[in-house]
Structure 1
Amino acid sequence: MINNIEKKIKLAFAVSVGSFITSVVLVAVVCFFAYSLVNEQRKNIYVLDHNVPVLVSQSAQGTNRMVEYKSHVNMFHLLFFTLPPDDAYIKANLSKAMYLVDDTGLAQYNNLKEKGYYNSILASSAVLTIKTDSVQVDENRHFRYYGRQRIERSTSIATRLLVTEGDLQDVPRTENNPHGLIIKNWKTVVNKDLDYVEKKSF
């Protein structure tokens, strides 16, 4: 009789311990999946588009950083080298460009200004545009920019090869610097004529 009671107590104890361990395991598994689900949901952001919620995805800052590096370099060169014969437009573009570069960009701007570069554009009604060929960025965030500048005057069209290089440094993102980058040690490596065509006069 006593042996039966002891066996039943041991069985009940074993069942209790087993149930407890099973419950702990189940709770741990449920918590793990709940935590994973919450993390996944946090990556989903809803944006209202005319009062209609649209699902967008959140990604890590470094996911597309290389794309941002190239875009930043490209944006700076477009702003710095796109120069129509419009003084207000030139000043506005160069002002935006200065937010993207350190004092080496300002030094080059002041050098060109002192040489009368911008005044000559206005005087000759020249239109300067630039086309990006490629932007190369290495693992140390050192870049090299390749582009072609088109200089159209009333009597001619010239094409120049432009190659510049510099380094990229992270800075806080602002409205004027959406990529959160600044170009440092910027310099022109190559700036030479590729083509020159005189316009026909009738």
Structure 2
Amino acid sequence: MLVKNIEQKIKINKAVSIVAILFAVIIVIAGFVMAYKMVEDSRKSLYVIDNGVPVLVKQTDELLNRPVEYKSQIELFHRLFFTLAPDDQYIKENVQKSLYLIDDSGKKEYTNLKEKGFYNQIISGNSIVTVRADSIKLDLPNKKFTYYGTQSINRKTTLIIRKLITEGNFEDMIRSPNNPHGVLLTNWRILDNTELFNKSKNY
């Protein structure tokens, strides 16, 4: 009888010990998991200085934010390429910045406009050209975009408004100071640049 009691106590102690060990292992694993998540969350927390004031921001998943970056790159390219002033150096600098964002199709369009005398007309006519994006449609599976915008040509005596519709493709590339979004526009072409209206200025 005494032997049976001792054997039962040993079995109970053994079971309790195993449960305690398993519980301790679970706690340790849970601690590691929580610590890892805390470290990952801390890495996503960044401080940005805004007018000398540190502001806490959260880093988002790159894939979730990628469509926004695609649209931003497309808008930036068109703004640089089509924002012109009657200054040859200003035009060259803006176009050069825009060409970092696009393949040879951008250079071909620049050469085409240059041969047609478009930039000389801007300079001789003392014109200011600006562009505004109305909408940008993305076809993510096919990596294709369509840009809808309005181009304004402000001359000394007239204001010309043109429709601007372009399309092309986009692909991911390594980020760089000249291409911070890491997006390269390809196969770009102008579909429609018809004049909407021509308004004379009254002085």
Same fold by TM-score greater than 0.5: yes
Q: Distance in 2 between matches of 1:52 and 1:160?
A: 43
CA-CA distance at 1:93 after TM superposition: 0.3
Distance 1:17 1:44, change over 3 A: same
Q: Secondary structure at the match of 2:21?
A: helix
Supply the AA of the counterpart residue of 2:78.
H
Q: Distance in 2 between matches of 1:79 and 1:85?
A: 15
Q: Give the structure 2 partner of residue 147 of structure 1.
A: 149
Which one of the candidate residues 192, 195, 202 is aligned to 2:194? 192
Q: Distance in 1 between matches of 2:143 and 2:79?
A: 20
The list of structure 1 runs, each at least 4 consecutive aligned residues, that deviate by more than 6 angstroms after superposition, is 48-52
Q: Counterparts of 1:2-13 in structure 2 under 5 Å?
A: 2-13=3-14
* TM-fit CA distance, 1:125: 1.0
Deviations 1:137-164 (A, max 9, x none): 1222211111111112222111111100
Pairing 1:118–2:119 present: yes
d(CA) in 1 for partners of 2:173, 2:4: 78
**TM-score, normalisation: structure 2:** 0.90
Structure-2 separation of matches of 1:194 and 1:52? 46
CA 1:25–1:136 in 2, change beyond 3 Å: closer, same or farther? Answer: same
RMSD: 2.0
**TM-score, normalising length from structure 1?**
0.90
Q: Note the 1:18-167 alignment, pairs <5 A.
A: 18-46=19-47, 54-139=55-140, 140-167=142-169
Find the aligned partners of 2:18 and 2:24 in 1 and give their Cα distance.
10
Paired positions, count: 201
Unaligned runs of 5+ in 1: none
CA distance change for structure 1 residues 131 and 52 in 2, over 3 Å: closer, same or farther? closer
